[in-house]
C-alpha cells in the first residue's frame, strides 16, 4: 500500500514538472514571435500542457490544505517556480526597469504595425505586431544630430528602417524614405513615415 502511494506521488510530481516546464516554455515563446501565434501553431500540444498544469495545480492546492506541505513539497516548489517565472515575465514586459519614454511613433500597413519607442537613455525598441497575434521586439541605440535620428544599433533585423531617419515635429512624423536627390521626403504617403503618437517636447528641444 505504501509502495503504491509512493508511485502515485511520484506520478503526480512528474505530471507537475512536465506541465510546469511546458508553461515556462510557452512563456519563453513570447520572445520568438509571441505566445498567441504559437498557440495557433501548436494548439493541441499547448492545450494539453495547460490542462495538465491546471489539474496539477488544483491537486496540489487540495492536498496541501488536506495533508500539509510535506505531502506535496515537490509540487509546491515546482508551481512556485512557475509563479516566479510569471512575475519575472511581467516585470520584463513592463516599464518598471526601463528608461522613460521620450517618443513613440507608429507605422501601419495591411497586416502589421510597427511602433518605435525611444527612451531617454539612448535606447530604442521596435515593437512589431501582426497577423494571428504575431509579436516581436527589436532593440537598438540612437542619437540625435541636426534633426536626424541616427541609429548606432538598428532596432530591426533588415533594411526596413534605414540607419538614419528624419524627425519632423511640424508634420508630427518620422520620415524614413528619401527622394531621388537623396533627401528625406517630407510629404506623407503610405509607408514612408511613422506617425508620432506621443513626444516629450522638452527633451527634444534641449538636444
- HSE at residue 31, side-chain half, CA atoms within 13 A, is 9
Q: Cell triple for residue 156?
A: 530591426
Report the pLDDT value the prediction gives residue 207, as an integer from 0 to 100. 62
The last residue of one of the domains, among 93, 127, 149, is 93
For residues 95-122, b (16+ Cβ closer than 10 Å) or e, as one string?
A: eeeeeebbbbbbbeeeeeebbbbbbeee
Return the closest-CA partner of residue 19 out of 92, 93, 88, 74.
74
Average pLDDT on 116-122 reads: 95
Residues 71 and 114 in one domain: no
Residues 106 and 184 placed together within one structural domain of the fold: yes
Of 35, 64, 93, the domain-final residue: 93
Report, as an integer, the average pLDDT of 97-115: 91
Total count of domains within the chain: 2
| CATH classification of the domain holding 122 | 2.40.128
What per-residue confidence (pLDDT) applies to 8? 82
| One domain, residues 118 and 169 | yes
63 and 154, same structural domain? no
Asked if residue 197 and residue 105 are part of one domain, the reply reads yes
Cross-strand pairs, 124: 118, 140
**Percent of the chain's residues with pLDDT above 70:** 97
- Whether 12 and 43 share a structural domain: yes
149-196 pLDDT, tens digit each: 999 998 887 778 889 999 998 899 999 998 878 888 888 998 899 999
Which pLDDT belongs to residue 142?
95
∠ CA 188-131-194, rounded to 5°:
20
Residues 133, 152 within the same domain: yes
Same domain, 42 and 113: no
Query: How many angstroms separate the CA atoms of 19 and 13, rounded?
Result: 10
- Burial status of residue 135 (CB atoms within 10 A of its CB: 0-12, 13-18, 19 or more): middle
- Residue 104: band (very low, low, confident or very high) from pLDDT cuts 50, 70, 90: very high
Q: Is the domain of 199 the same as that of 109?
A: yes
Is the domain of 110 the same as that of 171?
yes
Give residue-wise pLDDT tens across range 50-73.
999 999 999 999 999 888 888 899
What would the mean pLDDT of 101-125 be, rounded to a whole number? 93
What pLDDT was estimated at residue 103? 95
The greatest distance separating any two alpha carbons of the chain, rounded to the nearest whole angstrom, comes to 86
CA dihedral 35, 38, 39, 42 (to 10 degrees): -150
Are 45 and 139 members of one domain? no
Amino acid 153: pLDDT: 92
**Domain boundaries, position 190:** 101-205
Residue 135, strand partner residues: 33, 129
Which one of 93, 118, 152 terminates a domain?
93
Q: Which pLDDT does position 201 carry in this prediction?
A: 80
- In the 3-class helix/strand/coil scheme, how is 138-172 assigned residue by residue? EEEEEEEECCEEEEEECCCCCCCCCCEEEEECCCC
Using CB atoms within 10 A of its CB, is residue 134 exposed (0-12), middle (13-18) or buried (19+)? middle
Residues 28-48: pLDDT tens digits?
Answer: 999 998 999 999 999 999 999
pLDDT at 89 (0 to 100):
93
Query: Quick one: 181 and 201 in the same domain?
Result: yes
pLDDT digits 0-9 by tens, 126-140: 999 988 788 999 999
The pLDDT of residue 1 is 47
Stated as kind and residue range, the H or E segment containing 101 is strand 101-108
Amino acid at each position: 500500500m505504501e509502495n503504491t502511494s509512493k508511485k502515485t506521488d511520484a506520478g503526480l510530481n512528474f505530471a507537475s514538472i512536465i506541465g510546469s516546464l511546458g508553461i515556462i516554455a510557452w512563456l519563453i515563446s513570447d520572445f520568438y514571435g509571441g505566445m498567441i501565434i504559437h498557440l495557433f501553431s501548436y494548439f493541441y500540444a499547448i492545450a494539453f500542457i495547460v490542462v495538465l498544469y491546471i489539474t496539477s495545480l488544483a491537486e496540489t492546492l487540495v492536498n496541501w490544505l488536506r495533508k500539509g506541505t510535506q505531502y506535496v513539497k515537490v509540487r509546491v516548489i515546482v508551481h512556485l517556480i512557475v509563479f516566479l517565472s510569471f512575475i519575472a515575465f511581467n516585470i520584463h514586459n513592463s516599464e518598471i526597469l526601463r528608461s522613460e519614454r521620450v517618443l513613440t511613433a507608429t507605422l501601419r500597413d495591411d497586416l502589421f504595425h510597427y511602433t518605435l519607442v525611444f527612451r531617454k537613455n539612448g535606447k530604442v525598441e521596435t515593437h512589431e505586431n501582426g497577423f494571428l497575434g504575431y509579436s516581436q521586439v527589436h532593440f537598438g541605440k540612437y542619437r540625435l544630430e541636426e534633426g536626424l535620428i541616427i541609429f548606432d544599433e538598428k532596432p530591426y533585423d533588415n533594411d526596413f528602417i534605414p540607419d538614419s531617419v528624419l524627425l519632423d515635429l511640424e508634420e508630427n512624423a518620422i520620415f524614413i524614405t528619401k527622394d531621388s536627390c537623396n533627401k528625406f521626403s517630407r510629404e506623407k504617403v503610405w509607408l514612408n513615415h511613422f506617425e508620432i503618437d506621443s513626444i516629450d517636447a522638452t527633451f527634444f528641444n534641449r538636444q
